Amino acid sequence: MNAIMTPKWRRLAVLLGGLLAAAQPAAASTFNLAPIRLEMDRSHQTGVLTLHNEGAAPVTIQVQSVAWSQDAGADKYEPTGELIVTPPVFVVPPKGDQIVRVARRGPADGSRERTYRLFFQEVPEAAPPGFTGLKVALRLSIPVFFAAPAAKPQLAFTASWRSDGTIDLAAANSGLAHVQLTDFELASADARVLGRVGGSRYVLGGAETHWTLTPPSGFAQGQALKLSGHGDSGPIAAEVAVASP
């Protein structure tokens, strides 16, 4: 499967508000970031992001880049100097835009995809006189992928029954590139649905992730299972290896 086809312009609108009771107001920030992920390779070594401030006040943003990996289904972040982000700190005026350019420093590994995340951290302004609420600093992150020509994902699914009757579903990616799983369901061979998972999750190359599903009562544990959903290249239909109870 290849990288997901994303819209040229996709708005990620984040609004923080109503976090506290009405008697204790919170200062809110609103801005849009597009696109919501960057994909680069040797032919396109620079990515461009646009941040738009929807608010009525200027907003100060600091950008941090980290190397992104996964261990036992959990995301891990480490500081990295492999990405160049320009500008790293900036102020966006009310209703204004800021262009952010991202590039990779030095040659990339040609055998596997490199994965990063960019964190956009709001630097809160000083509270105005008389303000008694809570100022909330917004923090967003987006994935950055630097592709290798021959690197592809390779997914395998397994399911294990737990003693409490739930199912541990694992997706292991033995390939050298990420895959994004979105809105899938697990069913028996006779199309009886055991569980559905909404939203999306990345599985990086060489990593795996897990979900816990609760099947309907009375479902026989020895049945064959199959998974259907969506990935970066479109629909996914896969057999699921079932561990013995």
Q: Give CA–CA dist 176/169, Å, rounded.
A: 21
Query: Can you list the pairs that 180-183 forms with residues at least 24 positions away whose Cβ atoms lie under 8 Å?
Result: 180/4, 180/231, 180/232, 181/229, 181/230, 181/231, 181/236, 182/229, 182/230, 182/231, 183/229, 183/230
In this prediction, residue 51 has a pLDDT band, given cuts at 50, 70 and 90, of very high
Comparing CA positions, the residue from 104, 69, 108 lying closest to residue 86 is: 104
Is 231 or 16 the better-scoring residue by pLDDT?
Answer: 231
Is 83 or 73 the better-scoring residue by pLDDT?
Answer: 83
Ordered by where they begin, the domains of the chain are 12-146 (2.60.40.10), 155-242 (2.60.40.10)
pLDDT, residue 223, reads 85
What is the arithmetic mean of pLDDT over 66-89? 95
Comparing CA positions, the residue from 203, 163, 164 lying closest to residue 184 is: 203
Is 205 or 21 the better-scoring residue by pLDDT?
Answer: 205
Q: Give CA–CA dist 237/240, Å, rounded.
A: 10
Tell me what percent of the residues of the chain surpass a pLDDT of 90: 60
pLDDT, residue 42, reads 86
Q: What is the pTM of this model?
A: 0.81
Chain mean pLDDT for the chain: 84
Pick from 17-31, 117-131, 182-196: least confident? 17-31
What is the arithmetic mean of pLDDT over 143-154? 92
Is 99 or 232 the better-scoring residue by pLDDT?
Answer: 99
Is 7 or 47 the better-scoring residue by pLDDT?
Answer: 47
Tell me what percent of the residues of the chain surpass a pLDDT of 70: 82
CB atoms within 10 A of CB 193: 13
Q: Is the peptide bond before 87 cis (omega within 30 degrees of 0)?
A: yes
In this prediction, residue 106 has a pLDDT band, given cuts at 50, 70 and 90, of confident
